[in-house]
Every structure is written in structure tokens, then in C-alpha cells.
């Protein structure tokens, strides 16, 4: 397996620290609002990574945190006159439900910031004791970036002199402009935790370092985790700061491999909270099938920026439809359990830094070949069993094709309409039998008016929602 390391900026052979065991940590959502397409993309990318790692025989422990302590959460709670817990539980629950709809499996561990405060206190204490952090007179605790000779080596940023001056003016209590808060003392009485350093709340960056140390890290290893992932925007400052804290506060570096997924743009525009053009997953799910969204969002390489638009989504749907039509063609038959050459090639493609384009090309070719053979006369018992095994493998490793193929094509159609369509198809079949094509075509037009298309096959007439 090869992984592009976004810190070393090169594709590296993946070798876990601990033989066949792999630890993966991904920065999860801050639960103060609905998940947008970017959250979906990130969750999908790492869901795929875990599936591919497991298919390669690794025992993976995958952790994705829930940030449930944050100023924006508190702001929302105050605005809506609700408790913090009500807000975070509502959005955490929504996040889980929406992720399930796009086929994202739950991580093995889902640590919450509120459940990891002890680990944060411990890490902050270590950083203070080792002179990597200091407390100001108003109670804030900052990480002293000048104490870490390796600071900025992760993002390879060069500090700008003008920026330095501006920031120091804004926050005169900091020793260095780049110093970031580990602990914010809070005086407004809203939400505070009683820490050994006084009342306040933890800084964002310290949450992840502490959670990794508490829930995932192997203390004896050179790296806390094998792989650390997240959105491309997190490289700086979030991951830079996380790495600094872990490096200075523990006996190991944070991660051996870093993976950052590209962004989702909407019709060429960046989607961001400040621009207010977020496309929420829940809204997309009202219009599009979850699995189509999964296929579409995964259809472009994870590191590329992704431009969401309806035309490309429609093309993805057609591509996924072909998988389901083949599945429909073989419905109810028994599969073969032997691993096929196709499966080996598919895994090989995905093991090359998740080369999804090559993987999809292999799938298209497999589907076409299977259809071609099935079109010709003969029973092809072996091919059918093998193809079903291939489809099952695609489902396992990519999460495509998990539904009943008939339901997939008819989702969103109510029972009353379904009954009506079935009746019309029967009527049309009778007209066809009697060679009354004028009537049968008229009935077909009526069926089409329900927004479905029909197809005559040797097994009978089937219909699909358009």
C-alpha cells in the first residue's frame, strides 16, 4: 500500500509501526451546525481508506473525534436558549444519521472533547512543566512556539514579519505572535470547566492531541499514530499546533503519515462558513440518493479539489446505475467465494494512494464484459457466480451496490404509484401479446408520465425511476 504523505509531499510505501496493526486518527466535526458536503467528502475519503487498509489485511483502529467544546457551540446555545448538551447531542445525532445515509461506517472510536478533559489537563501540565507553555496574568495558557525548534516544519510555513507585528499588538500578553491558546480563562460565566489552572475552556488544538494520547496512542512507539488525516485546511494551523503539542508534551511525534483531503466547491465557488454558501448534506439528501452522493463525492481523487455540480452528479448516477443493472440481472443467484483477478486488480488500484479513477475504470470494464457475455447465448454459470462475487467485493471495499437493486431504482416512489405502474405494465403486456402496439405505446406513454422508464427483458418488463 502506498500513501501520499502531505507533509513530506511524496508518495510513500505504507509501513505501520506495529506489524499488522494500524492506528488512524481523523479530525471530525465541531458539532454546532449541520454537516455540509465537505464534511461528507472527508468522512467518505477516510471511510474508503479504512476499507482499503482492512482489505490489505491490516487490523485498523480508526478514531474520529467529536469536538463538543467550542466557542461557536456556546454561542449557538446562548442564541437558542438551549444547553450545550442539547446542541451538541442534536448535531452529533444528525451527523451520524446523515453519514449512515451515504454509507460511511462508524469509526471504532469516537472520542468527545468533554470526555477527554483529564487528558488535556495532563498534557497542558506537562507542557508547562517542560517550559513549553506559560500562563499569563489573566489566566490564559499559551503554547510557547519559540520553545519548539521544529515549529512550522509540518506546514513548512515561513512566518511573515508584518503579520508578527500586527498580532503582537492585538494580544500583548503573548510572548510570540504565533503562540496559541491551550487554555482560555473565561470570565463571562457561560460555560467553564474547573481545571487545575483555573476556570475556563481548552483551546481547540489541544483537544485533538490529548484525545489521541488518551484513546489511541501507543506510548512506546515513535509516533502516536500511524496516520493522521483531515481536511486540507487543517494542515495549518491546526495540525501544526497539534504536532507541536504532542512533540513537546509526550515522548513521541504525532503521526508517521499525514493525509489531507481536498475541498468541495459549489459551482466553482469555495464553500465556507464565512461566505455562507454551505451546501448542507441534509439538503442534498432530500434531492439525491445517499449512495449516488457517495459515488459522486468519491469519484474524484481525494486530494483534488472537488467541484460539485448537477451535470457531473448525473454522470455519476449513470455509472452507479450500471452496477445496479448488472446486479439486477443476476439477482437471486449464488455467488462464488474465490478471489478473482478483477478483485486483485481493484485492490491494487485502490492501494495506490486510493486511485479511484483506475478503480472505477476497472469496474466499468468488468461490468461491460459481464454484460457482453450474458448477452450471448449460454448459461455462463461460472461467470455469473464470479460476477456476483465481484459485485460483493465492490460493495465491501467501496460501499457501492449495497441495496436491493429493484429498490434502488424505485426509491422515492410511493406505494400507490408503484401499484398503479404495475397495473399499467400488466395492461400493456396484454396489448403487446395481442400485437396491439398502438394501445401498448399509449400505455407506455402513460407510465412514462409517472417519471419512470420501462424496459422489456426476457424476464418480463421492469421499470426504473428516471
Partner RNA sequence: GGUGCCAUCGCCAAGUGGUAAGGCCGCAGCCUGCAAAGCUGCUAUCCCCAGUUCAAAUCUGGGUGGCACCUCCA
Spell out, one character per residue from 306 to 345, where the chain touches RNA: x when CB under 7 A holds, - when not.
Answer: xx---xx-xx--xx-xx--x--------------------
Site membership for RNA, residue 36 (CB under 7 A): yes
**What is the nearest approach in angstroms of RNA to the Cβ of residue 38?**
2
Cβ distance to RNA smaller for residue 294 or 444: 444
User: 395: closest CA among 294, 287, 261?
Assistant: 294
> Could you tell me which stretch among 73-81, 121-129, 227-235, 416-424 binds RNA (CB under 7 A)?
227-235
Site membership for RNA, residue 257 (CB under 7 A): no
Cβ distance to RNA smaller for residue 17 or 371: 371
User: 323: closest CA among 269, 264, 387?
Assistant: 387
Site for RNA in 434-463 (CB under 7 A): 437, 440-441, 444, 453-457
**What is the nearest approach in angstroms of RNA to the Cβ of residue 269?**
7
User: 400: closest CA among 41, 109, 102?
Assistant: 102
Task: By CB under 7 A, name the one of 87, 234, 293, 447 that touches RNA.
Answer: 234
Size of the site for RNA (CB under 7 A): 78
Beta bridge partners of 5: 10
CA dihedral 315, 320, 326, 330 (to 10 degrees): -160
Beta bridge partners of 20: none
Which whole-number Å values give the CA distances from 219 to 146, 213, 224, 225, in the listed order? 26, 8, 7, 10
Helix 310-329 vs helix 356-375: crossing angle, to nearest 10: 40
Site for RNA in 338-397 (CB under 7 A): 352, 355, 357-358, 360-361, 364-365, 367-368, 371-372, 374-375
Task: By CB under 7 A, name the one of 301, 348, 380, 427 that touches RNA.
Answer: 301
Cβ distance to RNA smaller for residue 218 or 233: 233
Spell out, one character per residue from 39 to 58, where the chain touches RNA: x when CB under 7 A holds, - when not.
Answer: x-xx----------------
Site membership for RNA, residue 156 (CB under 7 A): yes
Instruction: Show the DSSP H helices in 276-379 as ranges.
Output: 281-287, 290-298, 310-329, 341-350, 356-375
Task: By CB under 7 A, name the one of 57, 158, 412, 459 that touches RNA.
Answer: 158
Sign of torsion, CA 80 84 88 89? negative
156-161: long-range contacts at Cβ-Cβ below 8 A with a sequence spacing of 24 or more?
157/236, 157/240
**What is the nearest approach in angstroms of RNA to the Cβ of residue 55?**
19
Sheet with strand 306-308: strands edge to edge? 269-270, 264-266, 306-308
Cβ distance to RNA smaller for residue 27 or 397: 27
Spell out, one character per residue from 107 to 146, where the chain touches RNA: x when CB under 7 A holds, - when not.
Answer: ----------------------------------------
Integer-rounded Cα radius of gyration of the chain = 27
Site for RNA in 237-256 (CB under 7 A): 237-238
Site for RNA in 271-290 (CB under 7 A): 271-274
User: 277: closest CA among 30, 38, 29?
Assistant: 38
Task: By CB under 7 A, name the one of 12, 72, 175, 420 that touches RNA.
Answer: 72
Amino acid at each position: 500500500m502506498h500513501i501520499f504523505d502531505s507533509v513530506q509531499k511524496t508518495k510513500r510505501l505504507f509501513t505501520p509501526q506495529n506489524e499488522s496493526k494500524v492506528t488512524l486518527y481523523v479530525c471530525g466535526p465541531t458539532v454546532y451546525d449541520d454537516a455540509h458536503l465537505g464534511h461528507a467528502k472527508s468522512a467518505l475519503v477516510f471511510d474508503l481508506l479504512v476499507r482499503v487498509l482492512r482489505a490489505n489485511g491490516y487490523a485498523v483502529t480508526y478514531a474520529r473525534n467529536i469536538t463538543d467544546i467550542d466557542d461557536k457551540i456556546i454561542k449557538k446555545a446562548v442564541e437558542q436558549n438551549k444547553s450545550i448538551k442539547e446542541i451538541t447531542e442534536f448535531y452529533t445525532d444528525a451527523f451520524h444519521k446523515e453519514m449512515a445515509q451515504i454509507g460511511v461506517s462508524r469509526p471504532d472510536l469516537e472520542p468527545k472533547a468533554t470526555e477527554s478533559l483529564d487528558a488535556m489537563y495532563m498534557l497542558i501540565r506537562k507542557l508547562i512543566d517542560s517550559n513549553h507553555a506559560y500562563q499569563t496574568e489573566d489566566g490564559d495558557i499559551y503554547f510557547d512556539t519559540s520553545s519548539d525548534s521544529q515549529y512550522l516544519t509540518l506546514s513548512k510555513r515561513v512566518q511573515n514579519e508584518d503579520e508578527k507585528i500586527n498580532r503582537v499588538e492585538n494580544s500583548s500578553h503573548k510572548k510570540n505572535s504565533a503562540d496559541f491558546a491551550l487554555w482560555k480563562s473565561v470570565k463571562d460565566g457561560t460555560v467553564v470547566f474547573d481545571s487545575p489552572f483555573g476556570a475556563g475552556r481548552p483551546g481547540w488544538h489541544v483537544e485533538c492531541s490529548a484525545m489521541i494520547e488518551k484513546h489511541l496512542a501507543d506510548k512506546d512507539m515513535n509516533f502516536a499514530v500511524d496516520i493522521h488525516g483531515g481536511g486540507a485546511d487543517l494542515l495549518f494551523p491546526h495540525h501544526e499546533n497539534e504536532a507541536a503539542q504532542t512533540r513537546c508534551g509526550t515522548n513521541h511525534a504525532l503521526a508517521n503519515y499525514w493525509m489531507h483531503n481536498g475541498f468541495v466547491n459549489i459551482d466553482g465557488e469555495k464553500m465556507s462558513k464565512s461566505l455562507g454558501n454551505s451546501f448542507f448534506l441534509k439538503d442534498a439528501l432530500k434531492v439525491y440518493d445517499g449512495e449516488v452522493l457517495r459515488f459522486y463525492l468519491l469519484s474524484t481523487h481525494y486530494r483534488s479539489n472537488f467541484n460539485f455540480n448537477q451535470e457531473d452528479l448525473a454522470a455519476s448516477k449513470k455509472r452507479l446505475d450500471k452496477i445496479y443493472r448488472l446486479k439486477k440481472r443476476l439477482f437471486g443467484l449464488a455467488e462464488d467465494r474465490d478471489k478473482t483477478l478483477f478483485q486483485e486488480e481493484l485492490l491494487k488500484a485502490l492501494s495506490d494512494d486510493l486511485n479511484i479513477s483506475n478503480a472505477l475504470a476497472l469496474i466499468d470494464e468488468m461490468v461491460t464484459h459481464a454484460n457482453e457475455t450474458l448477452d450471448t447465448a449460454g448459461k455462463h454459470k461460472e461467470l455469473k457466480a464470479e460476477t456476483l462475487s465481484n459485485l460483493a467485493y465492490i460493495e465491501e471495499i467501496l460501499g457501492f451496490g449495497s441495496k436491493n437493486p429493484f429498490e434502488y431504482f424505485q426509491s422515492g416512489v410511493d406505494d400507490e404509484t408503484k401499484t398503479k405502474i404495475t397495473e399499467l405494465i400488466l395492461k400493456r403486456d396484454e396489448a403487446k401479446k395481442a400485437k396491439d402496439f398502438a394501445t401498448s405505446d399509449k400505455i407506455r406513454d402513460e407510465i412514462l408520465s409517472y417519471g419512470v422508464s420501462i424496459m422489456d427483458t426476457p424476464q418480463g418488463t421492469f421499470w426504473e425511476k428516471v
